[in-house]
């Protein structure tokens, strides 16, 4: 039997540009945590959030896993549930919806599940997608993820992307991202400017890229009435509209009148949300995210439920590095019903990574690895450097709102704002 003989949790930080959203603006450093789970001569990798409250739960979970059979994923959940108890550790930014104790547990279990699947795959010489039922595609398409952004962090030189604060800036950003990665679909993070300006940006994208599907995601910045108006004005322009407003009731009101499907990673964020969402018809597409749905198998389960109820499945992303990119790619590869291009923050991480050879996105897609496990190897030097960043960056909890208030003291986070 191959069992866990130790776990190392390393908090890391990597540079992040000043990306705007409905919570504020990204701080100069994004936080993550890298898990190394040791079994025999093997090491399984996981990647998750690096906020201080989450780190303390990861530590408690890690301490409970010695001797666990690497195939015992039920035992993994049970041990972690017993180790962390009933605790709710919400995000400050709220960009992935409400928090509950169940979601907190799912967020902790997820990174360990990925690491154990990586170990299982290595132990039997099979890729993680084989453990999830086998791949149904060789290439996983990702979408260009555009953000309104400042030229650079205040006090620092402009970054390589430059500013994007109007339709022309957004189109220019799309061009450089598409030139570099070949993306064949586009998502614009909205909820930053009044809706009319964001509609103009969508129109400009449509003119510049006539054949590419477009998505707009204001992270619940609009009331139902505003959402209905924007949906009417963007009729025929969007493949889906993501979280225009907050809550299952508000989304249902919008969905009843919107000409395009509504997607969410904010109002359906746990299994408990699904029955009401289906009953009300609140959403037509759910964005899976293994980091908070409980892992790769839980996300596959989510996709199966969505298929049963005729809902589409797409995939959500926060700032992440190469372990998460590999995990997302294996999941998307083995989920027949995940038919939309996957969100990723990869272009924003400007080549920084914690693995030796990150999966590459070219032609808008990543080739699914067929090597054992996740197919990525930890770069120990990079891990040490990124850990130093974490020690010195001074950020212990992602807080887009306070960071924006530092430069715009009158800024308040309001959802809905318009």
Ligand X SMILES: O=C([O-])C(=O)C[C@H](O)[C@@H](O)C(=O)[O-]
Nearer to ligand X, 132 or 302 (CB): 302
In the complex, minimum distance from the CB of residue 242 to ligand X, in angstroms, rounded to a whole number:
6
Pick from 294, 344, 327, 325: which is nearest to 100 by CA? 294
Q: What is the dihedral of CA 97, 243, 224, 169, to 10 degrees?
A: 120
Contact with Mg ion (CB under 5 A): which of 242, 273, 289, 400? 242
Cis peptide before 245 (omega within 30 of 0): no
398 labelled as ligand-binding? yes
355 is written with which tokens? 């693995």
Site string for ligand X, 46-85 (x = CB under 6 A): ----------------------------------------
36: partner contacted, choices ligand X, Mg ion, none (Cβ within 5-8 A by kind): none
Residues annotated as catalytic are 189, 316
Between 62 and 221, name the residue whose CB sits nearer to ligand X.
221
Work out what residue 189 binds among ligand X, Mg ion, none; the CB cut-off runs from 5 to 8 Å by kind: ligand X
Work out the end-to-end distance of the chain between its first and last CA atoms, rounded to an integer number of angstroms: 58
In 3D space, the residue among 322, 256, 373 whose CA is nearest the CA of residue 34 turns out to be 322
**From Mg ion, ligand X, none, interface partner of 173 (C-beta below 5 to 8 A by class):** none
Look at the block and give the residue holding tokens 């994208």. Answer: 205
In DSSP notation, 260-313 reads: S-EEESSS--SGGGHHHHHHHT--SEEEE-HHHHTSHHHHHHHHHHHHHTT-EE
Question: Using the rule CB under 6 A, which residue among 143, 185, 219, 329 binds ligand X?
Answer: 219
Under the binding rule (CB under 5 A), the answer on residue 273 touching Mg ion is no
Pairing of strands 42-49, 29-39: antiparallel
- Torsions phi, psi of 405, nearest 5? -65, -25
Does 96 engage in binding with ligand X (CB under 6 A)? yes
3-state class (DSSP) for residue 124: helix
Judged by CB under 6 A, does residue 316 bind ligand X? Answer: yes
In the range 108-147, which residues lie near Mg ion by CB under 5 A?
A: none
Please indicate if the annotation marks 187 as binding a ligand: yes
Which span sits near ligand X by CB under 6 A: 3-11, 299-307, 312-320, 384-392?
Answer: 312-320
Task: In angstroms, give the least distance from the CB of 391 to ligand X.
Answer: 23
Binding mask 10-29 for ligand X (x = CB under 6 A): ---------x-x--------
Tell me whether residue 219 is annotated as binding: yes
Q: If binding is defined by CB under 5 A, does position 91 make contact with Mg ion?
A: no
Distance, in Å, from the CA atom of 2 to the CA atom of 160, rounded to the nearest integer, reads 46
- Tell me, what DSSP letter sits at residue 368? P
Residues 236-275 close enough to bind ligand X by CB under 6 A? 265
Is residue 291 a contact residue for ligand X (CB under 6 A)?
Answer: no
* Closest distance to ligand X from the beta carbon of 400 (Å): 7
Q: Does 217 contact ligand X by CB under 6 A?
A: yes
Instruction: Quote the CA–CA distance of 4 and 279 in Å, as a whole number.
Output: 42
Could you tell me the smallest distance in angstroms from the CB atom of residue 396 to ligand X? 17
In this structure, what is the dihedral angle of CA atoms 155, 161, 167, 172, given to the nearest 10 degrees? 150
Q: Which two tokens stand for residue 93?
A: 């930014």
Q: Which residue has the tokens 């609009």?
A: 222
* Residues in contact with ligand X by the rule CB under 6 A: 19, 21, 95-96, 189, 217, 219, 265, 316, 318-319
Binding-site positions for substrate? 26, 96, 145, 187, 217-219, 265, 316-318, 345, 398
């Amino acid at each position: 039997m191959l069992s866990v003989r130790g776990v190392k949790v390393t908090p890391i930080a990597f540079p992040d540009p000043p990306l705007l959203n409905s919570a504020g603006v990204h701080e100069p450093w994004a936080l993550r945590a890298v898990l190394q789970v040791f079994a025999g001569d093997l090491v399984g990798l996981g990647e998750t959030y690096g906020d201080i409250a989450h780190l303390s739960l990861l530590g408690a979970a890690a301490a409970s896993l010695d001797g666990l059979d690497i195939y015992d994923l039920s035992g993994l959940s049970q041990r972690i549930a017993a180790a962390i108890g009933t605790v709710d550790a919400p995000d400050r930014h709220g960009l992935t919806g409400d928090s509950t104790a169940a979601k907190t547990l799912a967020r902790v279990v997820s990174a360990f599940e990925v690491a154990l699947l990586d170990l299982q795959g290595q132990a039997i010489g099979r890729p993680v997608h084989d453990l999830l039922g086998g791949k149904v595609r060789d290439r996983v398409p990702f979408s260009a993820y555009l953000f309104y952004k400042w030229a650079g962090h205040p006090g620092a030189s402009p970054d390589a992307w430059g500013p994007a604060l109007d339709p022309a800036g957004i189109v220019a950003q799309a061009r450089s991202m598409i030139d570099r990665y070949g993306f064949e679909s586009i998502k614009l993070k909205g909820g930053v400017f009044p809706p009319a300006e964001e509609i103009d940006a969508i129109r400009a994208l449509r003119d510049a890229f006539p054949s590419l599907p477009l998505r707009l995601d204001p992270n619940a910045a609009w009331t139902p009435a505003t959402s209905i108006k924007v949906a009417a004005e963007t009729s025929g322009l969007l493949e889906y509209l993501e979280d225009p407003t907050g809550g299952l009731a508000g989304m249902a009101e919008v969905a009843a009148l919107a000409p395009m499907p509504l997607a969410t990673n904010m109002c359906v964020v746990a299994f408990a949300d699904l029955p009401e969402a289906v009953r009300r018809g609140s959403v037509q597409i759910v964005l899976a995210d293994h980091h908070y749905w409980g892992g790769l198998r839980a996300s596959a389960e989510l996709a199966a439920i969505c298929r049963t109820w005729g809902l589409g499945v797409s995939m959500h992303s926060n700032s992440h590095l190469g372990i998460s990119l590999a995990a997302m790619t294996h999941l998307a590869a083995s989920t027949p019903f995940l038919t939309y291009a996957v969100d990723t923050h990869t272009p924003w991480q400007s080549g920084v990574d914690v693995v030796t050879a990150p999966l590459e996105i070219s032609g808008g897609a990543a080739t699914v690895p067929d090597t054992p496990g996740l197919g990525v190897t930890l770069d120990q030097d990079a891990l040490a450097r990124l850990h130093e960043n974490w020690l010195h960056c001074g950020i212990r909890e992602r807080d887009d709102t306070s960071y924006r208030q530092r430069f715009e003291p009158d800024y308040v986070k309001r959802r809905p704002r318009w």
